[in-house]
């Protein structure tokens, strides 16, 4: 019997997708390793509201911690205390900014246990888990073996589909007595600067994403892409150079170190198709590439390609889409 702990932050009223993906991963692991309990530690002001849903999606036991905000050091302390208390054999965390870059690594250090970060899957061999993750920017894959008192992994988003909600599933919801109040965070957020992006759809929920790269050449060029996005009702994304050059905000970076997206339609314009970019867009249902270089690697990954300078294609594409609208 293998007990698994998954982690879920609860700061917004609606439950996000990533913790539900973790539950799907946990159930898949549990089915292969011998059914044990899947515990979900749910931390944050909305944790009470998530309980039922987490059980319908695969948790056996939800442990809630209703702290007002989920700061990094508090999250780490709460997860550490849950791991020490419940002694699970496997801990699954989301590979996001909080857990992938902080809670996971710091927890591994404190528990002196190996960790596999940014995992997309696993293979079970007997009692051993081999964790599958991309390496070299996604050009290769590695099965990692980790050793120590617990198997600790951070899972990338979109690696698993959430299980369908089963309202007949039963489980326990309990409050977990973590002493978060005595944590004195050393890292303090003293200011939050909102970067207003008028009219720009968030990447996560968009059905269509129009994404631009270095090949767009200028901020003015990006304005044309934004026009296409508006006509299509799409969100705007960008590659790392497009972000570094200030053409798109950081929150719209697509790729390994940005967002992992999976829209119905991903239109990559002036993007070469580096593995690190594809790592974030590769699961899109249909990928369209517009690039002037027929040898660009993006054409090896795209479903539909147009070899042409974008300046000659995008305005006409906007025109064509507008005609249908009217």
Partner 1 sequence: MHIIVCIKQIIDPEVPFHLFRIDPVAKRQIQGTHPLVISTYDEVAVEVALQLKEKVGGRVTALTLGKKEALQALHQTLAMGADDAILLSDLNFEEMDSFGKARVLAAAVRKIGEFDLILCGRQAGDVELGLVGPFLAGELGIPCVPLVANFEVANGTIRMRRPVETGYEILEAPFPLLATITNDTSNVPRYASVKGLRAAMRAPIPCWSSADLGLSADALGPKPLRIEIDELFIPHREMRCELIEGESGAEKARNLAARLKALGLIG
Ligand X SMILES: Cc1cc2nc3c(=O)[nH]c(=O)nc-3n(C[C@H](O)[C@H](O)[C@H](O)COP(=O)(O)OP(=O)(O)OC[C@H]3O[C@@H](n4cnc5c(N)ncnc54)[C@H](O)[C@@H]3O)c2cc1C
Residues that bind ligand X (CB under 6 A): 137, 213-215, 239-242, 253-258, 270-272, 274, 276-277, 280, 291-293, 296, 309-311
Q: Which tokens go with 162? A: 């959430």
For residue 277, the cross-strand partners are none
Residue 135 binding partner per list ligand X, partner 1, none, with a CB distance cut-off of 5 to 8 Å that depends on partner kind:
partner 1
Compare residues 30 and 239 and give the one whose CB is closer to partner 1: 239
Hey, CA dihedral for 22, 27, 29, 34, is it positive or negative? positive
- Asked if 146 touches partner 1 (CB under 8 A), the answer is yes
- Asked if 205 touches partner 1 (CB under 8 A), the answer is no
Q: Which of residues 281-300 bind partner 1 (CB under 8 A)?
A: 286, 288-289, 297, 299-300
Residue 269 main-chain phi, psi, to 5 deg: -115, 125
Name which position in 1, 126, 140, 182 contacts partner 1 (CB under 8 A). Answer: 140
Residue 307 binding partner per list ligand X, partner 1, none, with a CB distance cut-off of 5 to 8 Å that depends on partner kind:
partner 1
Compare residues 10 and 296 and give the one whose CB is closer to ligand X: 296
Compare residues 135 and 223 and give the one whose CB is closer to partner 1: 135
- Asked if 304 touches partner 1 (CB under 8 A), the answer is yes
Q: Which tokens go with 165? A: 């909600």
Compare residues 15 and 274 and give the one whose CB is closer to ligand X: 274
Q: How far is the CB of 240 from ligand X (least distance, A)?
A: 3
Compare residues 149 and 177 and give the one whose CB is closer to partner 1: 149
Q: How far is the CB of 221 from ligand X (least distance, A)?
A: 8
- Cβ-Cβ contacts under 8 Å for 284 (sequence gap 6 or more): 209, 261, 262, 263, 264, 265, 266
State the residue for tokens 């791991």. 83
Residue 200 binding partner per list partner 1, ligand X, none, with a CB distance cut-off of 5 to 8 Å that depends on partner kind:
none
Compare residues 226 and 240 and give the one whose CB is closer to ligand X: 240
- Asked if 250 touches partner 1 (CB under 8 A), the answer is yes
Give 197's Cβ-side CA count (13 Å radius): 15
Q: Which of residues 54-93 bind partner 1 (CB under 8 A)?
A: 72
Q: What angle do CA 52, 56, 57 make, to 5 degrees?
A: 115
Q: How far is the CB of 27 from ligand X (least distance, A)?
A: 29
Contact pattern for partner 1 over residues 253 through 272, marking x by CB under 8 A:
---xx------xx-------
The answer to whether the CB of 5 falls within 8 A of the CB of 86 is: yes
Buried b (16+ CB within 10 A) or exposed e, 107-125: bbeebebbbbbbbbbbeee
The answer to whether the CB of 63 falls within 8 A of the CB of 82 is: yes
**Which residue from 97, 109, 118 is spatially nearest to 150, judged by alpha carbons?**
109
Q: Which tokens go with 280? A: 């974030």
Q: Which tokens go with 264? A: 């119905």
- Using only C-alpha atoms, the chain has a radius of gyration, in whole angstroms, of 21
- Asked if 115 touches partner 1 (CB under 8 A), the answer is yes
Compare residues 58 and 138 and give the one whose CB is closer to partner 1: 138
Q: Which tokens go with 38? A: 């899947």
Query: β-strands 151-155, 115-119: how paired?
Result: parallel
- Asked if 114 touches partner 1 (CB under 8 A), the answer is yes
């Amino acid at each position: 019997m293998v007990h698994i702990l998954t982690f879920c932050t609860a700061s917004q009223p609606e439950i996000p997708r990533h913790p539900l993906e973790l539950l799907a991963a946990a159930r898949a692991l549990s089915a292969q390793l011998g059914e044990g309990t899947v515990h979900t530690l749910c931390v944050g002001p909305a944790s009470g509201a998530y309980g039922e849903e987490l059980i319908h999606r695969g948790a056996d036991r939800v442990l809630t911690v209703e702290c007002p905000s989920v700061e990094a050091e508090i999250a780490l302390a709460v997860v550490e205390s849950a791991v020490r208390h419940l002694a699970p054999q496997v801990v699954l965390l989301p590979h996001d900014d909080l857990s992938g870059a902080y809670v996971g690594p710091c927890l591994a250090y404190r528990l002196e246990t190996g960790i596999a970060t940014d995992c997309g899957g696993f293979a079970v061999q007997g009692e051993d888990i081999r964790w599958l993750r991309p390496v070299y920017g996604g050009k290769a894959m590695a099965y990692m073996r980790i050793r120590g008192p617990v198997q600790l992994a951070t899972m990338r988003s979109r690696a698993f589909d959430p299980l369908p909600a089963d309202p007949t599933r039963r489980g326990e919801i309990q409050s977990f007595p973590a002493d978060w109040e005595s944590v004195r965070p050393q890292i303090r957020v003293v200011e939050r600067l909102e970067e207003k992006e008028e009219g720009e759809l968030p990447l996560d929920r968009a059905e269509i994403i129009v994404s631009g790269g270095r090949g767009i050449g200028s901020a003015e060029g990006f304005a044309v892409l934004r026009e296409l996005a508006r006509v299509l009702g799409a969100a705007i994304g960008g590659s790392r150079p497009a972000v570094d050059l200030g053409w798109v905000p950081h929150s719209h970076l697509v790729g390994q170190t940005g967002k992992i997206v999976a829209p119905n339609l991903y239109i990559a314009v002036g993007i070469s198709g580096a593995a690190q970019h594809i790592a974030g867009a590769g699961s899109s249902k249909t990928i369209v590439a517009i690039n002037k270089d027929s040898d660009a690697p993006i054409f090896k990954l795209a479903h539909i390609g147009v070899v042409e300078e974008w300046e000659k294609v995008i305005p006409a594409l906007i025109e064509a889409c507008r005609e249908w609208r009217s």
